[in-house]
Amino acid sequence: MCCLQIWLCLFTFRFNTLKHLKSLTLKFLLSVDSVCVIQELSTLLSKVKGTGQVSLNQPSQRTSIQQESDMVLRPLMDLLDGR
């Protein structure tokens, strides 16, 4: 093999390696970003739903509201989780 062939082989290897590294980096960043978004949404939804700090006159009212909110939010959370 002459020097030019070796150089071309190494250049091609470097080019392909960087291309795949860039692709993997993008996939990683997108997955981390979606995890952060899901955690932020979870915090916001907990605030909307309440964490048991709502003082309603009857416990059945609180239970009813929590069940309804779970029913409404479940499809959204499933979508965000990728199910």
| More confident call, 8 vs 78 | 8
When divided into structural domains, the chain yields a total of: 1
pTM (2 decimals)? 0.40
pLDDT tens per residue, range 7-64? 899 899 999 998 898 888 888 877 776 666 777 777 776 666 655 555 556 667 777 7
Q: How far is CA 11 from the centre of its chain?
A: 36
Q: Which residue has the higher pLDDT, 6 or 76?
A: 6
Structural domain span for residue 9: 3-81
Give the pLDDT of residue 76. Answer: 74
- Rounded Cα gap, residues 23 and 21, in angstroms: 5
As a whole number of angstroms, the distance between CA 20 and CA 26 comes to 10
